[in-house]
Chain A
């Protein structure tokens, strides 16, 4: 390439949020017409990096960042996303930002409509200009042609197949005259295989026209297919920056999930399982952002079953759907008995308990005391901790029993608090999580769902929570289904780990399976390939 100055160069980008480092000294450069595949697990720092690039206000509000962003060799600091747009950087988001009742043309030209002056403009300002429809259509058609796809300029977005919506979004970004760099965040996530193919072809076309592209995707085979270079982020650090030529999907997956640590230290030889405890067939769940499309699995009695996968792929939807918190369908059987869906009470009555990932929303009564929080579910579901009067006509809380229960768990789980009367909202995140666990344990469930049990809590509390789950499983024989974004902790305590991708189970692996295999499953490769 004759021009040696890279279009975009990031130099030593560092960012921390309230003392937690999310990006450490990330540097890479991007030339014109180059496609860069940016990969990394959740929390690897991809999103933060893009926010810095776009000058999102949240970055400045949290203390700015270290390092330099250069566009065409000049240091650039954007105060808001509009500055970035003016500098020729376009972003295509994961969610569509289209107006449903507008046509392709109207959406592509949104707020950049060519217009005609008239008298009213002089009187009331430029917004009274009438739209120049033919010019709008012409420009939109040109942008669509640049993409090289079939899109009718007059189709309403609400009547389009999902692939066309994605193309409309991209066409909107490349209509800008000065667009030099396009960032696509998981553009193929909602597309079918064939649509994704067309999209990749369009990206190559755009790159050939000199537009640089940052392509973020968890589908690694797409990254290797389209990218010239691959940059891998892990835990906020750049771990690999390499030409995409000759790189195997498996290698990228291994870089992404991390070094091969010894996760097999655990002795699992003494594990014994009974028959099937929970059988799930063709489950679908309408949980916004975590849609489950078609999931089937069986958990054995006494087992700790892990469910992992990237955010937004549907792993959280599984326990929420089975527990009746979101609209769901399919078949769920517990110990052979059919469990009614869409009915939280039925799920609880069947003997299942759920420690929600939404601690403060679903898990706790924040304004109530600890003993209340711990006894509450058992009181509602089992009628425990109640004293009956007049042959059951009245029942009153059994404060003494509640207190004993709370004190038992405060000691057992080492909940740091001033006493059983302290309010739940006054506890730290880790201790709140312990209260949630205590609440579930107090139900004495025969099957326990735990969702993101260690999210947002410190290392010490993490260990305690995991140890308690393990102990509870060992001592009580309770079957546990644990959903977590942290592969390491799934591998540390589970007997089997299922990886969810795009609303389906990509595969189920033993915890001692190589990390790269887990990475492959998360990257949208199917089980057959991964276990080979």
Chain B
């Protein structure tokens, strides 16, 4: 939709800066860090290409809950846990290659649906506070996950492979080697372009997901989610099943996060059984926000730009830290701090914008008294 009038250019610039302040700050920091890192262009690009394949799917899983007005689904870590359980079984059964990944998805899917449904129920009871509730729910489910994987697996849930169980006979080892499925998707269709390796099969899966999301937006369910995302009361009075639709948004998001975590881990090649999912939600949230999304609005380009920008910073900042401060660790601290800052800033900006919008909407109701008349009168009255 075109704006009917043109803002003066200075105001336009300021408005653009205000709308994209998160992205701009990030670009600024990265622009300083790239030359100081002394990394070669080829290295940076290759690393970026790998990280796109590894992370983009996970970030996509955040789109639908944002569309449904539920903010960033920090509860996506539940899906990540489901994916890990799937992988544990795939490795235990010794199913290798892409079949192993498919097996992991099949095992993970019912778990993800169940967890997503639970999360949806909880979030429906915590309207308006979905993000913090989802975040805490992630911590709680982490405990449940530990109980299942550390105590039940091998004791009650049958695990055949001795190689992945702890020496005491039950529980899964701290680090799970994923050699049987390692990069099986990435290597399925490998394209060598000059000095770059492109994991085309992974990209294809991501592209299919993007197409799915575009299609999904045009379905009745997608339209309902958009409506609910903007006004739950109006949607409800129009007969849209608000609670059910919100649960569906979370279930789909959890399912996608499950698949995303499997893609992530097959690329990594091994899995920190009890830690791998801990920061999944945080990374995905930082990525989508860096890409210019807000808590209320996110698009596919936001995902693509965000994954690129966030990981560019992750690549260049530690070496830059090492060169500038003599310690790569400072760079690592710095990039974590930056990512958290981005999330905090985006949340604060969102709240601030919401208030400013509400205020300007109310100001529109005022009569002539607030317009040109009021300031003049007020000066007169102050004498």
Smallest beta-carbon distance A174→chain B, Å = 15
Chain A hits for B193, CB < 8 A: none
When the two chains form their complex, are residues A331 and B380 in contact, meaning their CB atoms are under 8 A apart? yes
Task: Give the most central of A99, A106, A288, A327: most B CB within 10 Å.
Answer: A99
Task: Give the most central of A110, A155, A288: most B CB within 10 Å.
Answer: A110
Chain A hits for B227, CB < 8 A: 99, 102, 110-111
Smallest beta-carbon distance A416→chain B, Å = 40
When the two chains form their complex, are residues A291 and B365 in contact, meaning their CB atoms are under 8 A apart? yes
When the two chains form their complex, are residues B381 and A127 in contact, meaning their CB atoms are under 8 A apart? no
Chain B hits for A293, CB < 8 A: 365-369
Write the chain A residue with the least CB distance to B221.
A127
Chain A hits for B1, CB < 8 A: 155-156, 159
When the two chains form their complex, are residues B374 and A282 in contact, meaning their CB atoms are under 8 A apart? yes
Contact flags (1/0) for A282-318 with B, using CB distance below 8 Å? 1110101001011100000000000000000000000
- Answer whether residue B168 sits at the interface, using C-beta atoms and an 8 A cutoff: no
- Answer whether residue B44 sits at the interface, using C-beta atoms and an 8 A cutoff: no
Write the chain A residue with the least CB distance to B376.
A282
Chain B hits for A327, CB < 8 A: 359, 362
Chain B hits for A101, CB < 8 A: 226, 230
A127-B228 Cα distance, complex, nearest whole Å: 15
When the two chains form their complex, are residues A330 and B221 in contact, meaning their CB atoms are under 8 A apart? no
When the two chains form their complex, are residues A100 and B367 in contact, meaning their CB atoms are under 8 A apart? no
Write the chain A residue with the least CB distance to B370.
A284
What are 24 A-to-B residue pairs whose CB atoms are below 8 Å?
A99-B226, A101-B226, A102-B230, A110-B227, A110-B234, A115-B220, A120-B219, A126-B220, A127-B220, A127-B221, A128-B221, A129-B220, A130-B220, A131-B218, A282-B374, A286-B366, A291-B366, A293-B367, A327-B359, A329-B370, A331-B378, A331-B380, A503-B365, A503-B367
Chain A hits for B374, CB < 8 A: 282, 284, 329-330
- Answer whether residue A281 sits at the interface, using C-beta atoms and an 8 A cutoff: yes
Chain A hits for B378, CB < 8 A: 329-331
- Answer whether residue A47 sits at the interface, using C-beta atoms and an 8 A cutoff: no
- Answer whether residue A471 sits at the interface, using C-beta atoms and an 8 A cutoff: no
A102-B239 Cα distance, complex, nearest whole Å: 17
- 17 additional A-B pairs beyond A99-B235, A110-B227, A284-B366, beta carbons within 8 Å, are A81-B237, A100-B230, A102-B230, A106-B223, A110-B240, A111-B227, A128-B220, A129-B219, A129-B220, A130-B219, A155-B1, A156-B1, A291-B366, A329-B378, A330-B374, A503-B367, A504-B367
Chain A hits for B373, CB < 8 A: 282, 294
When the two chains form their complex, are residues A281 and B381 in contact, meaning their CB atoms are under 8 A apart? yes
Chain B hits for A82, CB < 8 A: 239
Chain B hits for A291, CB < 8 A: 362, 365-366
Specify which of A128, A131, A156, A294 is in contact with B367 (CB 8 Å cutoff): A294
**Are A330 and B377 CB-contacts (below 8 A) given A128-B219, A129-B219?**
yes
Smallest beta-carbon distance A50→chain B, Å = 15
A399-B94 Cα distance, complex, nearest whole Å: 80
When the two chains form their complex, are residues A286 and B224 in contact, meaning their CB atoms are under 8 A apart? no
A330-B224 Cα distance, complex, nearest whole Å: 44
A244-B219 Cα distance, complex, nearest whole Å: 49
When the two chains form their complex, are residues B369 and A329 in contact, meaning their CB atoms are under 8 A apart? yes
Chain B hits for A120, CB < 8 A: 219
Smallest beta-carbon distance B66→chain A, Å = 13
**Are A97 and B221 CB-contacts (below 8 A) given A291-B366, A294-B367?**
no
A424-B192 Cα distance, complex, nearest whole Å: 79
Interface size range of chain B in the complex = 35 or more
Chain A hits for B218, CB < 8 A: 130-131
Contact flags (1/0) for B58-73 with A, using CB distance below 8 Å? 0000000000000000
Write the chain B residue with the least CB distance to A125.
B221
Smallest beta-carbon distance A169→chain B, Å = 11
How many residues on the A side are at the interface (Cβ–Cβ under 8 A)? Answer: 42
The 9 A-B pairs at the shortest CB distance, nearest first, are namely A293-B367, A331-B381, A294-B369, A294-B367, A127-B221, A282-B369, A111-B238, A284-B369, A97-B234
- Answer whether residue B215 sits at the interface, using C-beta atoms and an 8 A cutoff: yes
When the two chains form their complex, are residues A100 and B231 in contact, meaning their CB atoms are under 8 A apart? yes
- Answer whether residue B10 sits at the interface, using C-beta atoms and an 8 A cutoff: no
Chain A hits for B238, CB < 8 A: 97, 110-111
When the two chains form their complex, are residues B237 and A97 in contact, meaning their CB atoms are under 8 A apart? yes
- Answer whether residue B7 sits at the interface, using C-beta atoms and an 8 A cutoff: no
- Answer whether residue B382 sits at the interface, using C-beta atoms and an 8 A cutoff: yes
Write the chain A residue with the least CB distance to B368.
A294
Specify which of A100, A130, A286 is in contact with B363 (CB 8 Å cutoff): A286
Write the chain B residue with the least CB distance to A154.
B1
- Answer whether residue B161 sits at the interface, using C-beta atoms and an 8 A cutoff: no
A127-B224 Cα distance, complex, nearest whole Å: 9
A331-B381 Cα distance, complex, nearest whole Å: 6
Residues facing B in A446-473 (CB within 8 A) are none
- Answer whether residue A333 sits at the interface, using C-beta atoms and an 8 A cutoff: yes
Smallest beta-carbon distance B220→chain A, Å = 5
Chain A hits for B366, CB < 8 A: 284, 286, 291, 293
Chain A hits for B365, CB < 8 A: 286, 291, 293, 503
Chain A hits for B226, CB < 8 A: 99, 101-102
**Are A131 and B363 CB-contacts (below 8 A) given A102-B227, A110-B227, A294-B369?**
no
Contact flags (1/0) for A322-335 with B, using CB distance below 8 Å? 00000101111100
**Are A111 and B362 CB-contacts (below 8 A) given A130-B218, A293-B367, A294-B367?**
no
**Are A286 and B223 CB-contacts (below 8 A) given A99-B234, A99-B235, A329-B369?**
no
Smallest beta-carbon distance A83→chain B, Å = 12
When the two chains form their complex, are residues A113 and B223 in contact, meaning their CB atoms are under 8 A apart? yes
- Answer whether residue A182 sits at the interface, using C-beta atoms and an 8 A cutoff: no
Chain B hits for A99, CB < 8 A: 226-227, 230-231, 234-235
- Answer whether residue B233 sits at the interface, using C-beta atoms and an 8 A cutoff: yes
Residues facing A in B335-364 (CB within 8 A) are 359, 362-363
A330-B368 Cα distance, complex, nearest whole Å: 11
Residues facing B in A315-363 (CB within 8 A) are 327, 329-333, 338
Chain A hits for B239, CB < 8 A: 82, 111
Contact flags (1/0) for B163-190 with A, using CB distance below 8 Å? 0000000000000000000000000000
**Are A127 and B219 CB-contacts (below 8 A) given A288-B362, A291-B365?**
yes
Chain B hits for A277, CB < 8 A: none
